[in-house]
Amino acid sequence: MAKTGYSATLIAPAKLNLSLTVLGKRPDGFHDLVSLVAFADLHDVLSVTLAETAVDQLTVAGPFAGSLDRDNLILKAVSAVRDAIKAVPPLSITLHKTIPVAAGLGGGSADAAAILRLLARQHGLAAMAPPIQEIAAGLGADIPVCLQSRCRYMRGTGTTLDPEQSGFARYPALLVNPGAAVPTGAVFKTLAAKKKAATDTSVPHGLTEEILAGRNDLEAPAVAVAPEIGPVLRTLSGLPGALGARLSGSGATCFTLFKTDSARDQAAELFRQTYPAYWMHAGALRNWDPDSLFPETPAFSG
């Protein structure tokens, strides 16, 4: 459990799009989609205390601190809660940035969701309370699904959430990012999938089949924008014990799943021999319990 008051350590888990189907472009220029989202044991850590100044303070550390925009979703989330619910004192926040930035892993959304969970708790609200979901949706399409960090489908522009998927199990996973720049706008411009009716949101597979055999409609356009993704996907899918390979979101992080930790670890060693310079995380997908998102002590990964 977190400490009382605004002194807390917060976990912000990375999200993965296990599947992503683009249904069509909306009149407002956004796209309707349906995506099965899960969360990894990879995470950022936020340390929060009361600020000694009259304004919020954000300090960033960790392996990906240098690539982060200081006009950050965390501070926007604090301001949004302050505007909607009031009574939020100035906060001093240290972000230990372990999730790669602009990588299809929702790191910025996860960070914003983490601070929203804390502020919701401070005001006696559940993380999924309608006022918090409304604030989250106004800040970014991936933030609502990150509030609980549990496997579920998101729909529409990403802000419509299905109930949590029952039966989701832990999956050993290998995540790889080649460091390619993949602008989301360029990926959608390249998207050549057929436009479907926006009401066609049916999912043809069961949960296990969707996890292991689903598709990402943004994968082919992302490879067209950043060709170095293609060899990564092919190498991952050919590793011993790999259960396919897929892109998360619009990339550039690719992932594959395994039946056992030992199979994942052996595959990670083989992959590293081919691509020693690429970022890699050998971990697992999991559902996060509410209390595990508020640890008593910092839990830095990476």
Domain count, the chain: 2
Q: Which residues contact 90 (CB under 8 A, 6 or more apart)?
A: 50, 51, 53, 54, 55, 56, 57
Q: What is the CATH number of the domain that holds 213?
A: 3.30.70.890
Same domain for 113 and 182: no
Residue 296 confidence (pLDDT) = 72
pLDDT tens digits, residue range 142-169? 999 999 999 999 999 888 999 999 889 9
32 has catalytic annotation: no
Same domain for 188 and 90: no
Range of the structural domain that residue 56 is part of = 8-164
Domain boundary, last residue among 130, 164, 198: 164
User: Which residue of the set 32, 111, 142, 217 is catalytic?
Assistant: 142
Domain boundary, last residue among 164, 187, 218: 164
Q: What angle do CA 132, 16, 193 make, to 5 degrees?
A: 105
User: Which residue of the set 15, 32, 97, 111 is catalytic?
Assistant: 15
Q: Considering the entire predicted model, what is its pTM?
A: 0.92
37 or 23, which is more confident? 37
Domain boundary, last residue among 139, 164, 189: 164
Residue 24 confidence (pLDDT) = 81
Residue 265 confidence (pLDDT) = 98
Same domain for 59 and 31: yes
Q: What is the CATH number of the domain that holds 119?
A: 3.30.230.10
Same domain for 175 and 74: no
Range name among 64-68, 89-93, 166-170 with the lowest pLDDT average:
64-68
Same domain for 200 and 259: yes
Same domain for 266 and 190: yes
**For residue 186, with 0-12 CB atoms within 10 Å meaning exposed, 13-18 middle and 19 or more buried, which class applies?**
middle
The answer on pLDDT for 198 being more than 70 is no
15 has catalytic annotation: yes
CA distance 246 to 192: 18
291 located within any domain:
no
Is residue 1 within 8 A of residue 287, CB to CB? The reply is: no
263-292 burial code (b ≥16 CB/10 A, e <16): bbeebbeebeeeeeebbebbbbbbbbeeee
Same domain for 251 and 123: no
Place of tokens 């949706």: 137
